[in-house]
Amino acid sequence: MDRRDAVALPPNICPGLWAPELQQLDGEWYIYFAAVDASLPGGCEDGRNRRMFVVKGDNPNPWLANFRDFRVLDTGGWAIGGVVMKHPRTGEFYLIYAGSIGASGASWSSIFIKRMANPMETRGERLDIGRNFPHRPWEIDSDRWGTREGPEVLIHGNKVNVIYSAASSWDGSYCLANFFSTLESDLMNPNAWTLKDADRPGAMGGCQFDRNSGAGHNSFFQSPDGKETWMTYHRFKDGCTKGWNCRQIHAKRIRFHDDGTPDLGRHSLGDFEPSGTP
């Protein structure tokens, strides 16, 4: 498939897009991404103006679609790394994203959830799903900011897992952690969420995967035959210790604990291709 430029940005979106997510929801294709909103005071020069945007395709085949219907999502302020979850039982849509806490800007961030009226419009108040779990030491980056970002949703059984990245994306402290709830719970209730292994002792803390390798900003996919769950992620190249140019993309198969939370394991070169690959 040849590369093609399917998205022409409107003038209110500044150059420099972050973390695009292509999602199919109810048969339609959407791209969610973070960008600086030029229409806000300070314009493109003020990074505090970064918001979540969505653009909808006009064809059920994403390779043929033109993406021209843009909206800015109301997230209550600075926001990045958004992904949409459709509840498999109620059909409700939720936007889950990283947003700032405390003072305006991105110095401290947490994972937020907000109901959606439809895949292009949020509604109601947002909830910091980590409100009952103040940042732990293993979530503090090298600039002394508490960082939670890059959420991805993984539902297994009745468990709703929000896997996110914590600490410094530019060094080996970056790691994957898990806020989880259940499908029966009110996802807008902070008491419905738990941070897995929040206070586990030692350097690993609540990290669920390969601490000190810089692993983070993951996503999940099913094998072609639907029998396996795989994770893509980036981690640091061996021997490289600092800087975004150290990162490499990897993929591995994951399993699940008996309670429905994922067992992300450790980085491994033993998984070569998903089952059912032609």
Contacts within 8 Å (CB) and 24+ apart, 222-226: 222/274, 223/274, 223/275, 223/276, 223/277, 224/274, 224/275, 224/276, 224/277, 224/278, 225/275, 225/276, 226/276
**pLDDT tens digits in sequence order for the chain, 278 residues long:** 455 566 788 889 999 999 999 999 999 999 999 999 999 999 999 999 999 999 999 999 998 898 989 999 999 999 999 999 999 999 999 999 999 986 545 578 999 999 999 999 999 999 999 999 999 988 988 788 899 999 999 999 999 999 999 988 888 888 999 999 999 999 999 999 999 988 888 767 788 887 667 788 999 999 999 999 999 998 888 778 788 888 888 888 999 999 999 998 777 666 678 999 98
Distance, in Å, from the CA atom of 97 to the CA atom of 53, rounded to the nearest integer, reads 12
Alpha carbon distance 264, 230 (integer Å): 10
Asked if residues 132 and 191 have their Cβ atoms less than 8 Å apart, the reply is yes
Strand partners, 181: 160
Q: Please state whether the predicted TM-score (pTM) of the whole model is above 0.75.
A: yes
Domain extents in the chain: 129-263
Residue with tokens 């500044």: 14
Q: In terms of CATH, what superfamily is 129-263?
A: Glycosyl hydrolase domain; family 43 (2.115.10.20)
